[in-house]
Amino acid sequence: MSFKNISFILLILSFLLYSCAGSRKKQQEPLTSGASQDQELTDIEKLLGIETTTSEKPKENKQKPKEKLNLLDENEVANPDQSMAAAATTLTPTEKKRYEQKIQNLQRQLEDKDRLIKQLKDQLAAQSQQIEQLSSKKGSTSLYVPSAPVASGDYEQTYQQARQAFESRDYQTALSLFQSLLSENANHPLADNAQYWIGECHYALRQYDAAILDFQKVFTFPNSNKAPDAQFKLVLCYLKKGDIEKAREEFQRLQTDYPDSPYVNRASEILSKY
């Protein structure tokens, strides 16, 4: 190879190397200029006394909403009554009135159920008592069953026997005796008393419908001394049946027809509990 050729090749290589070096310098200039700008900004921030960097600020902004939510949650837990009170104040007067009416209706339903339970207990007790009486008298000849009408001369004696049976709580025997007296002589001076005590027997046996009819029959006897008693017992019969309105009506009759009767105050005290 001649000297000229070698010189030409070296010249070309030198040109290529120079071109590559120039291109690398141009590529590095933006980086160095950007780094120098960052450095200048850092120096300015130090001179102004700014400690936080721009990269930390977004992080703080993200934490602030979370901190606010935590504070709200803590306040709600610390003051639950205030939260409930605030919710209650949102009810309108119409809604409050509707809820109050519902509460009153529920209270009345509970009272009605309590009265019904009491009546069922009374009926169960009456049935148990009847079963005990029948069991104790099974096969006994002491139970009085009149086989013939009572003689007129024995009317008062039979009446006393019936009263004794009633006081001994032998209501079935007393009932049979009083009924026999009315069958014998419904015009006897003690007939209205016998009619009244028939009602008392049914009342004691918790047969309130029958007792009401018996007490009403007392008023068919003129000038009966048992009329105020019968009127008072009508009030009690309807109370036992749970018919408060009817009981109050009978009480009004008691006040009107027998205002001087001691049963007026007694009935008033009893009705005041209903």
The verdict on 260 and 161 lying in the same domain is yes
Q: Of 209, 151, 199, which is closest to residue 178 (Cα–Cα)?
A: 199
The verdict on 185 and 266 lying in the same domain is yes
The verdict on 174 and 220 lying in the same domain is yes
In a domain, 165, yes or no: yes
The verdict on 133 and 223 lying in the same domain is no
In a domain, 54, yes or no: no
Q: Of 244, 228, 165, which is closest to residue 198 (Cα–Cα)?
A: 165
The verdict on 103 and 198 lying in the same domain is no
What's the CA gap between 212 and 227, in Å, rounded?
13
- The CATH number of the domain holding residue 232 is 1.25.40.10
The verdict on 177 and 229 lying in the same domain is yes
Helix/strand/coil (H/E/C) assignment for every residue in the chain? CCHHHHHHHHHHHHHHHHHHHHHHHHHHHHHHHHHHHHHHHHHHHHHHCCCCCCCCHHHHHHHHHHHHHHHHHHHHHHCHHHHHHHHHCCCCHHHHHHHHHHHHHHHHHHHHHHHHHHHHHHHHHHHHHHHHHHHHCCCCCCCCCCCCCCCHHHHHHHHHHHHHHHHCCCHHHHHHHHHHHHHHCCCCCCHHHHHHHHHHHHHHCCCHHHHHHHHHHHCCCCCCCCHHHHHHHHHHHHHHHCCHHHHHHHHHHHHHHCCCCCHHHHHHHHHCCC
Which domain does 131 fall in, by range? Answer: 97-140
In a domain, 65, yes or no: no
Domain count of the fold of the chain: 2
In a domain, 24, yes or no: no
Per-residue pLDDT of the chain (274 residues; tens, 9 = 90+): 555 566 667 667 666 666 655 555 444 444 445 555 566 566 655 555 555 444 444 444 444 545 544 544 455 445 545 555 555 567 788 888 788 877 877 876 677 667 668 656 766 776 676 676 566 554 443 333 443 445 556 899 999 999 999 999 999 999 999 999 999 999 999 999 999 999 999 999 999 999 999 999 999 999 999 999 999 999 999 999 999 999 999 999 999 999 999 999 999 999 998 8
In a domain, 217, yes or no: yes
The verdict on 125 and 187 lying in the same domain is no
Q: Which two tokens stand for residue 8?
A: 């030409």
Residue in the structure block whose two tokens are 């009810």 = 91
Domain-terminating residue out of 140, 174, 203: 140
Longest distance between any two alpha carbons in the chain, whole Å: 182
In a domain, 121, yes or no: yes
The verdict on 264 and 166 lying in the same domain is yes
The verdict on 105 and 213 lying in the same domain is no
In a domain, 169, yes or no: yes
Amino acid 92: pLDDT: 87
C-beta neighbour count of 159 within 10 angstroms: 20
The overall pTM is greater than 0.85? no
The verdict on 125 and 180 lying in the same domain is no
Amino acid 139: pLDDT: 43
In a domain, 84, yes or no: no
The verdict on 157 and 265 lying in the same domain is yes
